[in-house]
């Protein structure tokens, strides 16, 4: 039986039995009997599924349904972007445009619809961001929390995970390929404008605030040829 077929049958087993993340899978001998496959074939199929985050092999304990995270997607996006960059492509800009298209299309749906508790939390995050900027601290984690809290209002877990995946891939690549620090005052101003626009209920203004935010990032991405890979250097903690 082809390796791909075995993987698909194990995935179908998980679906058919409604197994949640962390649930134990049948033992290796049970899978061999169920699938009609050899031990090596079953092990190879499970290893492939583990690489996708679909199963988790705990040596000495057994095999369990994995977290089914988007980690493989993040790795793929990051690698593709870096590889494209060194081929002379504007791959970082392309990834930025993907983020912008998704976020611009979503933020107007939030204008005037966020619950007061979320608005209070967003206000506190912008205040913290401004304090961090004044103290010369990195804004990375506060910036990330702002975006996560903002789109949490859509009540769509999968969508939030996809946005997180785009964020992780972009910033992992950005800190390796760019050495142009962002002015933290600009970052703070733009996030406060996004918050004010969403709170006001003005969807057009909210879209413009997001476009301004991404436009500022885009201005810092200058197209280049295929440069030599950079020398190792300390990684920046600044995100946008």
Per-residue pLDDT of 123-146, as tens digits, reads 999 999 999 999 988 888 898 899
Residues 6+ apart with CB under 8 A from 65: 14, 19, 20, 21, 22, 23, 24, 25, 54, 55, 56
pLDDT of residue 56: 95
Q: Which of 186, 220, 204 is nearest to 107 (CA)?
A: 204
More confident residue, 75 or 178: 75
Per-residue pLDDT of 79-126, as tens digits, reads 888 888 888 888 888 888 988 999 998 998 999 999 999 999 999 999
pLDDT of residue 105: 86
pLDDT of residue 176: 65
C-alpha to C-alpha distance for 209 and 100, rounded to whole angstroms: 11
């Amino acid at each position: 039986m082809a390796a791909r077929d075995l993987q698909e049958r194990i995935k179908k087993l998980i679906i058919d039995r409604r197994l949640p993340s962390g649930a134990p899978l049948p033992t290796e001998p049970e899978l061999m009997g169920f699938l009609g496959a050899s031990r090596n074939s079953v092990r190879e199929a499970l290893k492939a599924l583990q690489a996708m985050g679909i199963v988790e092999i705990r040596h000495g304990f057994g095999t369990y349904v994995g977290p089914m995270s988007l980690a493989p997607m993040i790795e793929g996006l990051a690698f593709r972007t870096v590889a494209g960059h060194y081929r002379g492509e504007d791959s970082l800009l392309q990834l930025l445009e993907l983020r912008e298209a998704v976020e611009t299309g979503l933020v107007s749906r939030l204008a005037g619809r966020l619950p007061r508790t979320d608005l209070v939390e967003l206000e506190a995050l912008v205040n913290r961001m401004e304090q961090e900027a004044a103290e010369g601290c990195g804004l990375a984690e506060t910036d990330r929390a702002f975006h996560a809290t903002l789109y949490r209002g859509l009540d769509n877990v999968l969508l939030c995970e996809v946005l997180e995946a785009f964020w992780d891939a972009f910033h992992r690549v950005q800190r390796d390929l760019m050495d142009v620090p962002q002015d933290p005052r600009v970052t703070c101003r733009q996030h406060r404008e996004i918050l004010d626009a969403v709170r006001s209920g003005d969807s057009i203004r909210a879209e413009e605030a997001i476009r301004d935010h991404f436009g500022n990032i885009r201005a810092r991405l200058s197209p280049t040829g295929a440069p030599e890979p950079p020398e190792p250097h300390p990684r920046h903690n600044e995100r946008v």
